[in-house]
Amino acid sequence: MGGLAHLYGLPKTHKQELAMRTILSATGTYNFAVAQWLDDKLKLLSLNHHTISDTFSFAEEIREIPVNENDVLASYDVASLFTNVPLGEPFEILAEKAFTNNWFNKTHSLHQQVGRD
């Protein structure tokens, strides 16, 4: 069995007042390997032409966009995004995509073992 999760904070250096970003590290916990496996499988369901994987990809992509003199680039600071996401609809969408025509099982070679009578 794995260890306990580790809770710590990182300072938000861009804030004038002292503030911490809470981090919960689950590395090495009993369910970490299952979470990694599930993340690896579900990630395939969310990738599309709107997905940007990291800051470098974003910078590369934005360089190719023509900018006019009156254009404005806006950036929004998202607070507590994951705690505010309703779970019902995303799970329905994932389940519909994953199990339509047995896509998930065929893609990842997950075959149900049937016992002999």
pLDDT tens, position by position, 8-55: 998 888 778 888 888 889 888 988 888 888 888 888 777 777 778 788
Residue 88, pLDDT above cutoff 90: no
Maximum average pLDDT range among 32-41, 86-95, 105-114: 32-41
Residue of higher predicted confidence among 81 and 35:
35
Residue 76, pLDDT above cutoff 80: no
Residue 90, pLDDT above cutoff 50: yes
Query: Average model confidence (pLDDT) for the chain?
Result: 79
Q: Which residues pair with 23 in a beta bridge?
A: 8
This prediction's pTM: 0.42
- Mean pLDDT for 76-102 is 74
Domain range annotation of the chain? 6-66+85-107
Residue 117, pLDDT above cutoff 50: no
Burial readout 96-117 (b: 16 or more C-beta within 10 A, e: otherwise): eebeeeeebeeeeeeeeeeeee
Percentage of the chain exceeding pLDDT 70: 83
